[in-house]
Amino acid sequence: MAGEPSFSAEFADAPKRTGGPVRGQDARLLSGAALLVAAIAVLPVASVVWIALFGGTESLAHIFTNVLPRATLRTVQLVLFTGLLTSLFGILTAWLVTGFSFPFRRLLSVALVLPLAIPSYIAAYMFAEFLDFTGPLQTFYRGLFGYRTARDYWFPDIRSLGGAVLVMSSVLYPYVYLACRSTFLMQGRAAADVARTLGAGPLRTMLRIQLPMARPAIMIGLTLVAMETLNDIGAVEYLGVTTLTFSIYDTWLNRGSLGGAAQLAVVLLLVVAGLIAVERLARRRQRFVANRTTASVNDRVRPRLRGMAAIAAVTVCLTPVAFGFLLPVAMLASYAVRRLELLHDPRLLKALWNSVLVSGSAAIATVLIGFLLAYSLRTRPNAAGGIAGRLASLGYGMPGTVLAIGVLVPLAAFDNGLDGLMRQYFGVSTGLLLSGTGFAIFYACTVRFLTMAEGTVDSGFRKLSPHLDMAARTLGRNRFQTLVSVLLPNMRPALLTAALFVFVESMKELSATILLRPFNFNTLATLVYEDASRAQIENASIASLIIVLAGLVPVLFVSRSMER
């Protein structure tokens, strides 16, 4: 009838009244805020590129002639050999714990994740102490064969490229192990059983069937290994391996060339971009679907290994755990017992407070920003939200030394500009408000680990049906009330998980922290680095153990979640 609203008009307006996509001013504000956050996150990348292009060319010839060739070669060698060794450890152990039953299998499947709690620089210090001339291994070796001096026998040098590969592989292989273990569990045993009925043995089945199906997961794990290897500075410096990351640090601080450091940083960024491109290319068109019902039934029955086969499986799985976790922790514990008085050391307590303050602030900031990005995309899926998420994720691919350059320059420019204005108009000097405080470290950690928080929060949102919002709206809740009373309570586990991951990773972060920390400002990571640089490894044991214990929490959480 004339004058009455039609059914189609009511239906068209229904999403607006029942919690559908946000429209109008609220949606524009969310999208604008998301893009602003993304711009702040991408600012360090733009700063590095700007300095590299316009920071002067006086050191360019020296860098490209004397620094870049050697550093690039060492970096490629370290990444390549570390990738090969982590693949061997990760794939073989994942195949054993998911495909067979043997003594201690369940315990070892969890223990194989533990090396992720050991930062690479702490592992390097402990390996060097264990394998040093005065360490327990060489001392035992000399006593066994009656040698007196180092000239009487040959022993491999841990301070070498091979030593760095061993150290990095020992603590980074869990990335490949976790990815392969998850994929092997999803595959079930259907494909393997079919191959065996056609006459293929277990090893041939793994090489011809299971491994090709797991290639996308392997590439993801190897990409993470490569990025963590590129990010390391403490281990490679201590072991004497000149990589691109260390060359950036050396060019900036020791040679005093910020432009040269930025130019090396751009080369490193290109290497990271190449790694990500290779990973995506390797996973292109690699899609496999597993029947979860069949998989869940068949995964309960694993062939049981006995005799020498069982001993071999336990040995293979125990070896990387011993190198990557038991050895560093045993060395740290032996030193810590002799340095218990350091628990009351003001340096340690101050560094612990600084670590908690910076890490806690970064965790809160990344969770809030990640929630903003994910909620913006949930309420109004559009190109702007997708672009904001991709821009905000750039920080995770930046090594810490590169990020430090990109963070320090804009903060220093802001401080100098503000100080100039205050001097001109008020005669007051504000000093270095941002770049001269712990805020620079907080900013770097926020940018670097924002991807981790945003991904976890977005994953939590994806588990909540959009109809939940609509149902709350039909019951009289407005959008803010729906967010507070419905979405946030359901998102609490994802938010806490994201905060935990960022907190622990920020506590372990060294590469950016060592470059950005102000005078007389130490975190636990930089305190360990300082003591190790002065050959006082025992004094660093308590701080190292605190970092390791903090890192165990998310590692065990991830392992338990996978076991479920």
Q: Counting beta carbons within 10 angstroms of the beta carbon of residue 303, is it exposed (0 to 12), middle (13 to 18) or buried (19 or more)?
A: middle
pLDDT at 16: 42
> Encoding tokens for residue 373?
């990005």
pLDDT at 2: 41
φ, ψ for residue 58 (rounded to 5)?
A: -65, -30
> Once rounded to an integer, what is the mean pLDDT over residues 406-424?
88
471 sits in which H/E element: helix 466-474
pLDDT at 495: 87
> Encoding tokens for residue 307?
């005799």
256 sits in which H/E element: none
Q: What is the DSSP string of 462-496?
A: HTS-HHHHHHHHHTT--HHHHIIIIIHHHHHHHHH
Kindly list the distances between the CA atom of residue 185 and the CA atoms of 85, 93, 191, 216, in Å, as whole numbers in the listed order: 22, 13, 12, 14
12 band by pLDDT with thresholds 50, 70 and 90: very low
372 band by pLDDT with thresholds 50, 70 and 90: confident
102's CB contacts (< 8 A; 6+ apart) are 96, 304, 305, 309, 310, 313, 314
b/e 278-300 (16+ beta carbons within 10 angstroms → b): ebeeebeeeeeebeeeebeebbe
Q: What's the CA angle centered on 481, arms 460 and 372, to 5 degrees?
A: 45
pLDDT at 74: 93
Instruction: Name the residue with higher pLDDT: 354 or 55.
Output: 354
Q: Counting beta carbons within 10 angstroms of the beta carbon of residue 63, is it exposed (0 to 12), middle (13 to 18) or buried (19 or more)?
A: buried
pLDDT at 456: 82
Chain centre distance of CA 477: 39
Instruction: Name the residue with higher pLDDT: 513 or 297.
Output: 513
* pLDDT > 50? residue 296: no
Tens-place pLDDT, residues 88-127 = 999 999 989 988 889 999 899 989 999 989 999 999 999 9
351 band by pLDDT with thresholds 50, 70 and 90: very high
403 band by pLDDT with thresholds 50, 70 and 90: confident
> Once rounded to an integer, what is the mean pLDDT over residues 497-512?
89
**In 283-432, which residue ranges form alpha helices assigned H by DSSP?**
292-298, 307-321, 327-337, 346-379, 383-392, 400-426
400 band by pLDDT with thresholds 50, 70 and 90: confident
Q: What's the CA angle centered on 256, arms 255 and 257, to 5 degrees?
A: 95
Q: How many residues does the chain have?
A: 564
* pLDDT > 60? residue 415: yes
CB 543 within 8 A of CB 528: yes
pTM of the model: 0.83
* pLDDT > 50? residue 290: no
R_g of the chain, CA atoms, integer Å = 26
* pLDDT > 50? residue 142: yes
C-alpha–C-alpha distance, residues 487 and 470, integer Å: 12
C-alpha–C-alpha distance, residues 148 and 142, integer Å: 7
Strand partners, 101: 304
CB 99 within 8 A of CB 211: no
E-assigned strand segments in 225-264: none
> Once rounded to an integer, what is the mean pLDDT over residues 265-277?
82
Domain ranges within the chain, ordered by starting residue: 31-563
Across 12-21, 73-82, 301-310, least confident range: 12-21
Three-state DSSP class for 381? coil
pLDDT at 563: 61
Tens-place pLDDT, residues 165-207 = 999 999 999 999 988 887 777 765 566 666 667 666 667 767 6
pLDDT at 190: 61
Chain centre distance of CA 199: 42
Across 247-261, 276-290, 333-347, 348-362, least confident range: 276-290
* pLDDT > 50? residue 231: yes
Dihedral of CA 430/436/439/444: which sign?
A: positive
Question: What's the whole-number average pLDDT of the chain?
Answer: 81
> Once rounded to an integer, what is the mean pLDDT over residues 226-244?
91
pLDDT at 561: 66
pLDDT at 562: 62
31-563 CATH choice from 2.60.40.1190, 1.10.3720.10, 3.40.50.720, 1.20.140.10: 1.10.3720.10
> Once rounded to an integer, what is the mean pLDDT over residues 65-94?
92
Three-state DSSP class for 304? strand
* pLDDT > 80? residue 504: yes
